[in-house]
């Protein structure tokens, strides 16, 4: 807590961890928390120079758990997306640090998968009333391991800034215990449709919805992705850009009309919240390839299967048949239901 110790921490952090963790810094050709001009960046760069890099994490994991199978890149990228949606870096006033993810009882299985894959943390009941559980890490060495995974591999600017604050406190604890420090890496990753970040983020923040109208043959189907804070809005813009760009390359209709877009970025009813909305049968059908290529890991997968089944029925005009329409309506109520059948 002493200002002198904090300054010493920063100086030693620069001295010690710069040997281990190369940081690009504020270079213009790299997207980072000091350079967030996404529109100019995407216009001038076909590909982001920043790539997911798990070298330091993998090295530490193998050192800690030599007999444990190394997590796959696909899982690690999914986990980062999932954590950026549902995870928390906790800095208690008394100085304790923890990393946690909270899920409802119906998704406790994914917490077990995370715990078993990383071989760290514990699963505890958070609330019996709300039926929620936590995967939580409190051990300093385990926090160090997962912090190596996050450092330089985050997508959301707010998450990266929070990690910077978290690392400053972690490094103080590492310093007084004569352990290696972690130099904060400000680089931000832009996800692609060839990795699983969007999959993990959808598992935490995404939503598939269907509404069958009562007074007509109409219906509404949507894929919704929500995010808080204006500073994170460009990630929703980027995801929409990825889907539009994919279709321009693979679909003649979109190729011939560059003004087409699968969806919109709109303000949420809550202030400083934003949504990516992909509306309509054809538009929703055009994003299925991604979720068929990469399988959702939470119970949201069951919602996706029902959503996909409804899209097939709507495409077959089943909603025009009163009997089949009722079946679609009943099925739509099971999407995102607390108890999925």
Q: For the residues 45-74, what does the mean pLDDT come to?
A: 90
Residue 72 φ/ψ, nearest 5 degrees: -75, 155
131, two tokens: 């039926």
Q: How confident is the model at residue 32 (pLDDT cuts 50, 70, 90)?
A: confident
Q: How confident is the model at residue 165 (pLDDT cuts 50, 70, 90)?
A: very high
Q: For the residues 5-23, what does the mean pLDDT come to?
A: 47
3-176: in CATH 3.10.28.10: yes
Residue 11 CB neighbours (<10 A): 10
Supply the CATH classification number for the domain 197-332: 3.10.28.10
Distances in Å between the Cα of 237 and the Cα atoms of 209, 232, 323 are: 20, 9, 40
pLDDT of residue 197: 99
Q: Which residues contact 251 (CB under 8 A, 6 or more apart)?
A: 286
Distances in Å between the Cα of 156 and the Cα atoms of 16, 316, 333, 336 are: 27, 39, 32, 25
Query: Domain boundaries in the chain?
Result: 3-176, 197-332
Q: What percent of the chain has pLDDT over 90?
A: 72
Tell whether the model's pLDDT for residue 119 goes beyond 70.
yes
Q: For the residues 220-234, what does the mean pLDDT come to?
A: 94
Tell whether the model's pLDDT for residue 85 goes beyond 50.
yes
d(CA 182, CA 2): 20
Tell whether the model's pLDDT for residue 30 goes beyond 70.
yes
Radius of gyration of the CA atoms of the chain, in A: 22
Say which range, 28-37, 176-185, 213-222, 280-289, has the weakest mean pLDDT.
28-37
SS3 273: strand
Q: Measuring CA to CA, which residue among 201, 210, 271 is closest to residue 235? A: 201
d(CA 325, CA 332): 10
Q: For the residues 129-152, what does the mean pLDDT come to?
A: 97
Q: Which helix (H) or strand (E) covers residue 127, if one does? A: strand 122-127
Q: For the residues 225-231, what does the mean pLDDT come to?
A: 92
Q: How confident is the model at residue 248 (pLDDT cuts 50, 70, 90)?
A: confident
Tell whether the model's pLDDT for residue 20 goes beyond 60.
no
Q: For the residues 163-168, what does the mean pLDDT come to?
A: 98
Report the mean per-residue pLDDT for the chain.
Answer: 88
d(CA 117, CA 174): 25
SS3 182: coil
Q: Running DSSP on this structure, what letter comes out for residue 195?
A: S
pLDDT of residue 331: 94
CB 123 within 8 A of CB 108: yes
Q: Running DSSP on this structure, what letter comes out for residue 32?
A: B
Tell whether the model's pLDDT for residue 227 goes beyond 50.
yes
CB 100 within 8 A of CB 88: yes
Q: Measuring CA to CA, which residue among 330, 328, 291 is closest to residue 313? A: 328
Q: For the residues 77-86, what does the mean pLDDT come to?
A: 98
SS3 297: coil
Say which range, 2-6, 32-36, 41-45, 123-127, has the weakest mean pLDDT.
2-6
Say which range, 47-61, 114-128, 155-169, has the weakest mean pLDDT.
47-61
Helices (H), the chain: 3-17, 38-44, 55-64, 73-86, 108-118, 140-150, 157-176, 197-205, 233-250, 252-255, 281-285, 288-293, 300-315, 322-332
Say which range, 250-259, 282-291, 332-341, has the weakest mean pLDDT.
250-259
Whether 3-176 shares its CATH topology with 197-332 is answered: yes
pLDDT of residue 268: 86
């Amino acid at each position: 807590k002493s200002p002198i110790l904090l300054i010493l921490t920063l100086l030693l952090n620069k001295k010690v961890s710069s040997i281990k963790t190369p940081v690009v810094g504020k270079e213009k050709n790299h997207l980072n928390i000091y350079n967030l001009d996404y529109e100019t960046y995407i216009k001038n760069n076909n590909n982001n120079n920043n790539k997911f890099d798990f070298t330091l994490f993998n090295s530490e994991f193998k050192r800690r758990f030599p007999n444990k199978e190394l997590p796959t890149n696909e899982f690690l990228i999914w986990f980062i997306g999932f954590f950026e949606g549902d995870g928390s870096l906790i800095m208690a006033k008394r100085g304790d640090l923890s990393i946690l993810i909270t899920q409802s009882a119906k998704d406790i299985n994914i917490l077990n998968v995370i715990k078993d894959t990383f071989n760290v943390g514990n699963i505890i009941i958070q609330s019996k009333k709300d039926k929620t559980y936590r995967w939580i890490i409190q051990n300093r060495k385990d926090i160090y391991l997962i912090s190596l995974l996050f450092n330089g591999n985050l997508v959301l600017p707010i998450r990266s800034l929070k990690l910077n604050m978290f690392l400053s406190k972690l490094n103080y604890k590492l310093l007084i215990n004569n352990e290696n420090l972690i130099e904060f890496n400000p680089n931000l990753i832009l996800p692609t449709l060839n990795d699983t970040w969007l999959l993990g983020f959808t598992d935490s923040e995404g939503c598939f919805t269907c509404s069958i109208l009562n007074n007509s043959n109409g219906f509404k189907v949507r894929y919704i992705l929500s995010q808080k804070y204006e500073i994170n809005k460009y990630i929703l813009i980027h995801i929409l850009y990825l889907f539009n760009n994919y279709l321009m390359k693979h679909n003649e209709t979109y190729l011939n009309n560059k003004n087409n877009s699968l969806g919109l970025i709109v303000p949420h009813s809550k202030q400083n919240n934003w949504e990516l909305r992909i509306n309509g049968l054809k538009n929703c059908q055009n994003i299925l390839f991604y979720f068929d290529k990469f399988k959702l890991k939470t119970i949201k997968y069951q919602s996706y299967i029902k959503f996909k089944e409804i899209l097939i029925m709507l495409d077959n005009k089943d909603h025009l048949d009163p009997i089949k329409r009722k079946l679609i309506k009943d099925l739509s109520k099971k999407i995102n239901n607390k108890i999925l059948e």
